[in-house]
Amino acid sequence: MQAAVLTNVTKLYGRFAALKNLSVTLEAGAVYLVLGENGAGKSTLLRMLAGLSLPTRGGLTVLDGPANKQQRRVAYMSHATMLYDELTAMENLTYYSGLRKGSGECACSGSPEMALRAVGLDPHLNKPVSQYSQGMRQRVSLARVLSADPEMLLLDEPFSNLDVHSVAQMLDLLKDFRTWPLANGHARTIVLTTHQAELAMPLADHVLRIQAGEFVSMEATQKQ
Ligand SMILES: Nc1ncnc2c1ncn2[C@@H]1O[C@H](COP(=O)(O)OP(=O)(O)OP(=O)(O)O)[C@@H](O)[C@H]1O
């Protein structure tokens, strides 16, 4: 099964092409590291896979369907942590999990409490996230996407603001995440971007390089 298929995808912002005729296939169950310089189009690609932005031209399927219809199977962690400052970590996660349940489409096996413990945070910490350090907010944000129990996890710069020890913990957690069984029996896919490629390399199965919106290469990492 394919996690995503892009066929000649172009994304225009006005007359500016953030992605140009990009054709790539992402296999289900693999970890893809997307590399490219600032402005290469990495976030644009992730936002499309998340169904938050549509291609201007070209074909895109995610988990064998239209990207904007797969949002309950896909979780996206952007640069911005997307947390409500005045709520605690647990309240934030409970709120988001309520939104998913409200849609009647929740397939989550992870609870907010389990997700917070998994990222090394105390679910009972009675402090609004505005008082958390940037690194802690990043963990809450990761817990938020993990508790959605996604088949495809999209992480945009997940290591920014984390110290080396926290990065190692996050990598271990993502390695575990790959093995968590899904109710539909499918394998989980991770797509992540980072400017710290050396940190993510041990987790990655494939490296996709893009430059100025164009495909450069797709290579399997050494461990394959
Ligand atoms: N909403 C938008 N409107 C106009 N231009 C945009 C918009 N979003 C992105 N761009 C432009 O598209 C290009 C690709 O942006 P994108 O954020 O995808 O790059 P990136 O590879 O993620 O960069 P970075 O590593 O700096 O985050 C950039 O030149 C950016 O300025």
Total-model pTM = 0.90
pLDDT at 109: 44
Stretch 82-96: mean pLDDT: 86
CATH superfamily of 2-101+108-220: P-loop containing nucleotide triphosphate hydrolases (3.40.50.300)
Nearest CA to ligand 1 atom 27: 38
CA–CA gap between residue 136 and residue 119 (Å, rounded) = 9
Residue 196 CB–ligand 1 contact under 6 Å: no
Residue 42 CB–ligand 1 contact under 6 Å: yes
SS3 130: helix
Ligand 1 pocket test, candidate residues 12, 13, 49, 209, most atoms within 8 A of CB? 13
Nearest CA to ligand 1 atom 3: 13
Stretch 134-146: mean pLDDT: 88
pLDDT at 104: 39
Domain spans of the chain, in order of start: 2-101+108-220
pLDDT at 169: 85
Report whether 46 contacts 154 (CB < 8 A). Answer: yes
| Phi, psi angles (nearest 5°) of residue 98 | -65, -40
What is the number of residues in the chain?
224
ipTM of the complex: 0.96
Residue 56 CB–ligand 1 contact under 6 Å: no
Residue 32 CA to ligand 1 centre (angstroms)? 20
pLDDT digit string, tens, across residues 38-73: 999 999 999 999 999 999 999 999 999 998 888 889
